[in-house]
Amino acid sequence: MSPAGKERAVKRAKSGQVQSLSRAFQLLMRLSQDEAGYTLSELASLEHLPPSTVHRLLNSMRQLGFTEFDEPRGVWGVGINAFRCGNTYLKKRDFIAQSRAVMKRLVAQTGETSNLGVLRDGEVVFVGQVECQAVMRMVVSVGSCGPIHASGVGKAMLSALPMAEALQLLGQKGMQPLTPRTLTRKAQFSDELRTIRLRGYAVDDEEQTEGLRCIAANIYDEFGMALAALSISGPTVRVQQQRVEALGAQVVAAADEITRLIGGCRPEGQ
């Protein structure tokens, strides 16, 4: 084989390896979405891949402990090493553990579910939750994502960024109308961010889900940068408009307490 031919062969091999790695991570992400697991045919259909390819990738990850196969049920799930990797992230971000007691107290005070979220790749990722005991309550899975433009956590964290950076992030995912109340224009959203900065908390006023209201405030690191946002969410029949200001003050106080616990500080003017 000529030198040029060898070079092309090496490039093809590397490209194939990268594609296999990408597909393997996609499968792992898919498995993380349902703790009940998936059959081989379900995964192949969802990922639009040949069953033979899916089977090969799953077995490779199984050998490394990243997937598991439940033979009696015939389903694949996340393996112990995937949990270990995720748990390492949680240990690194110690604010999640530090927030737990404060979130429990906030739930007891307000009667509503409390969530903890961060910004990742233009979306909100929920990393912690304490549920209230009410029959009607807002529940999200830890690790699930939400829109930054129509969630209390997303709006709070965007308010801590320079306006140009916040609007750039909004442009990445777009501002899709999820309910009639969703903010879909950047000029309108800019005004909203200024209001959030002045009062110290954000409100998702039925902008993501009709009948649901959310109030969120930022948690800051030692540099005064927004590390995460703390929120409470509940049905509008309980989280009534006349309660928003008082609940907002409680959420801000709880977020400030977590900021102090992790050695953070609120930036000047916030």
* pLDDT above 70: residue 167: yes
The answer regarding whether domain 93-261 maps to CATH 3.40.640.10 reads no
Single-letter amino acid code for the residue at 65: G
Residue 169 tokens read as 């992030």
Domain spans of the chain, in order of start: 3-84, 93-261
| Fold observed for domain 3-84 | Arc Repressor Mutant, subunit A (1.10.10)
205-230: per-residue pLDDT in tens?
Answer: 999 999 999 999 999 988 889 999 99
Q: Tokens for 32?
A: 């993380």
Angstrom distance (rounded) from CA 6 to CA 237: 69
Q: What does the pLDDT read at residue 102?
A: 95
pLDDT digits (tens, 9 = 90+) for 95-105: 888 899 999 99
- Per-residue pLDDT band at 35 (split at 50, 70, 90): confident
Q: Could you tell me the pTM of the whole model?
A: 0.67
pLDDT at 9: 45
CB 183 within 8 A of CB 189: yes
Rounded Cα distance between 159 and 141, Å, is 25
Task: Report the range out of 30-39, 137-146, 160-169 with the highest average pLDDT.
Answer: 160-169
Distance, CA of 220 to CA of 227 (rounded, Å): 5
